[in-house]
Structure 1
Amino acid sequence: VGVDPLVQNLMVSSPVTVESWQPLAHARQLMLMHSFSFLPVRLGDAWCLVSELGLAKYLKGGEGNDRWSESIATARSRGMELREIADDELLRPGMNANDVLARASVRDGPMLWLVVDDRRPDYLAGVLSPFELM
């Protein structure tokens, strides 16, 4: 109560991310340690989400444990499914959180919004989930 319903006031401002060069084993370890369903990663000019389902499907498709040491970028180029976030889906810190919630549609599975800096869309300022909006 008493807090402006702005994204910047409700977001997690120290997001855990994975880098495109880091191995899948590292991404999985972060997901397990923090009970995350998604990890943000910047690939080229786009923000993407590594999902636990995409990671599991890709790892099970390999022979033995040969895929654990692949980088996120390599795995994507070899068919690992990632959710690419369109620029118009990215949030900005000054947005009204009530408007974000009103525009959202219910989807299968968990939801995670990425919040980027107004001046530097390649910089992840935070993440926001429906949990923070309750």
Structure 2
Amino acid sequence: MHLDEKSARAFRLDLQAARENAIKDAEAFEGIIHAIERLGSFLLGRIEALGPYQPPLKDLAELSALASDIPSEWRELHTPFDLLYNEVKNARNDALHVGAYARHLTIHAIELAIVLEDALRIKETNLKEVKKMETTVSDFMIRNPVFAHSWQPISIVRQIMLTNSFSYLPVAMGDGKWRLVSDLAVAKYLQGCSNAKRKKRLATSLEEAMEDKDSFPSLDDAVCIHSSATIAQALNQSGGKPLLVTSKKAGSEIVGFLTPFDLL
């Protein structure tokens, strides 16, 4: 079957979600493999094992320079697609999937996902260009955004950041505005004090912590961008920090956020 821009995007986001989950769990390679199997069965037009999926997946992967061009020049840093795919396929068939072995398999699965994501991104862009459609923020933003509220304690802000590996977390302020709390601000607030004081600060609301200007750095105002904005506009407005994405259909609600990391 042929990929259109919508299916290319859906499979890219599927792989991205599985890869991000594997980064959090060093043994969560199965999610990536299942995403690859879904893509392979779509391209092949039938359900098979990993082996028969390799030819159509390779054809897709070759859209990306990461499949063979870059590995041929930087072999000590990048593994060619065929070799990477065979390593994942063979390792998946082995019975022992624990400890260091599973972590090794997860690393290869992540690398394989990165190649296919890049190819799908190129495929999606090429299809849009044919239809004279521009790539927009909505194509790369993180949906169902996670954010904190100013009334919540520092403990939950810290927990959300650690759980999601966030450097910045959007905060809904009581005045209807959005701000960004950084991992640096939380670290400065909690480190270098006694255990008793740290316990008290963990239980302090973000709003109260912000009033302690000597201990808690001021929060940056969040920059909002419309979902229909171009990627070039997003990069110009980012300043290295997340952008909060809005939509006319959602009113004042935030429908997603976009970071420079999402555009790599």
TM range (shorter): 0.7 to 0.9
Deviation at 1:117, TM superposition (A): 3.1
Kindly indicate which of the two structures has a greater share of residues assigned to strand: 1
Deviation at 1:61, TM superposition (A): 6.1
Deviation at 1:7, TM superposition (A): 0.9
RMSD: 2.1
TM-score by length of 1: 0.81
Equivalent in 172, 185, 190 of residue 54 of structure 1: 185
Q: 1:120 maps to which residue? A: 251
Distance 2:180 2:226 in 1: 17
> 1:97-124 CA distances to partner (integer Å, 9 max, x unpaired)?
22322x247x5xx521111233633x21
**Which stretches in structure 2 are left out of the alignment for 5+ residues?**
1-123, 129-133
Structure 1 residue 35 corresponds to structure 2 residue 165:
yes
Distance 1:64 1:41 in 2: 22
Question: What is the one-letter code of the residue matched to 1:90?
Answer: C
Deviation at 1:70, TM superposition (A): 0.9
SS of structure 2 residue aligned to 1:125: strand
Question: What is the one-letter code of the residue matched to 2:227?
Answer: P
**Which stretches in structure 1 are left out of the alignment for 5+ residues?**
none
Distance 1:65 1:7 in 2: 40
Question: What is the one-letter code of the residue matched to 2:230?
Answer: N
Equivalent in 69, 76, 85 of residue 210 of structure 2: 76
Deviation at 1:84, TM superposition (A): 1.7
Equivalent in 128, 139, 146 of residue 9 of structure 1: 139
> 1:21-66 CA distances to partner (integer Å, 9 max, x unpaired)?
1110011111111111111111123211111001111223653421
Distance 2:247 2:160 in 1: 24
Equivalent in 65, 90, 109 of residue 224 of structure 2: 90
How many residues align? The count is 126
SS of structure 1 residue aligned to 2:148: coil
> 1:1-25 CA distances to partner (integer Å, 9 max, x unpaired)?
2354111121001111111111100
CA separation of 1:124/1:61 partners in 2, compared to 1, >3 Å: closer, same or farther?
farther
Distance 1:104 1:64 in 2: 36
Kindly indicate which of the two structures has a greater share of residues assigned to helix: 2
Q: Which has the higher contact order (CA 8 A, sep 6+)?
A: 1
Question: What is the one-letter code of the residue matched to 1:98?
Answer: A
Q: 1:45 maps to which residue? A: 176
Identity of aligned residues (%): 33
Distance 2:163 2:231 in 1: 28
